[in-house]
Amino acid sequence: MCYYISTKTYNTMIPEVKKIKLVALYFYICHMYDSELKYICKRFSSNDLPAFTDQEVLTIYLFVMHAEQRFNVKQIYNFASEYLRSWFPLLPSYEAFDMRINRLGEALKHLATQILSNNCPSSCNFEVSLLDSLPIITCSGKRTARVAKEITDKGYCSTKSMYYYGLKLHALAYHHPHHLPFPESIVVTPASENDLNVYKQNWSHIANRFFYGDKIYNDNEFFNQVVESKNSVMLTPVKAVKNQEECIKQRDKAANDLFSTAVSTVRQPIESLFNWLIEKTDIQTASKVRSTKGLLVHVFGRIAAAYLFLIFNS
């Protein structure tokens, strides 16, 4: 199948490299759509072949977020309407564009998964993984949640010392020396889900691995079993023992502090990864989302947009 995209300039002030990225992204999405995404996006209705295609919707949404750092759907549409009309002459109304993108949450999830799984750097240390979670906030805990209540709930963020409604993004990432960790697996849960439970349900089967996590992953009995069955080790900062005698606490303090500092130093880059993701996509703030579908698009669309550079560099 052949694809056509206009080569007219959409604005002389936009660098040539961005035009090349737009074309490259369009052809990548067309390839992914024909091979995989069409089975996820397929419409079983009389309008199964719209004039403005799903490929074009995805291209605009991801390109404007990645290249122009505009994250709100209205901002994305306004940019496309003003600067991309010659490339996408059949761009529909804002209401139609918003409805179309909200239908593509599963496609964006699959696209983000493929981008990450197909572009993992060979320089990663595949024997060491870092774990942490990131809150995705739909509203503060002081308010009453009204959006996506079937997949969100109330949780607590210790980093921000606040209660909030929303989701929690859990990441398992390969250690990548001198670079940001590279995501191996991402799991999205309601905000109240315990990080240790997510590990037990999704990653406890992984063998021959060193995991570095924070204190919430501290469960000696469980991880002793993991060592025996999977030869995998979880390393966390030392957690204080409740009602421990002061003399024992002081005796072990120096060794515990050194060990905790060493573990925290190794796992610190995953916090940098989350900071980078927030800076690139504003993924943590979901207060303007108005539906469950929109929230899923918000999460997986931003993950895909953040890692588009892997496509352009390959």
- pLDDT tens-digit series, residues 151-163: 999 999 888 889 9
Assess if residue 303 is contained within a domain: no
User: What domain range includes position 179?
Assistant: 125-288
Res 250: pLDDT: 72
Residue 44 has pLDDT above 70, yes or no: no
How far apart CA 165 and CA 151 sit, in angstroms, is: 10
- Same-domain status, 30 and 72: yes
- Same-domain status, 136 and 258: yes
- Same-domain status, 160 and 254: yes
Q: Write the single-letter amino acid at 152.
A: T
- Same-domain status, 233 and 95: no
- Same-domain status, 80 and 173: no
Count of structural domains within the chain: 2
- Same-domain status, 150 and 212: yes
Assess if residue 185 is contained within a domain: yes
Res 2: pLDDT: 46
For 162-210, write each residue's pLDDT tens digit.
999 999 999 999 999 999 999 999 999 999 999 999 999 999 999 999 9
**Whether this model's pTM surpasses 0.95:** no
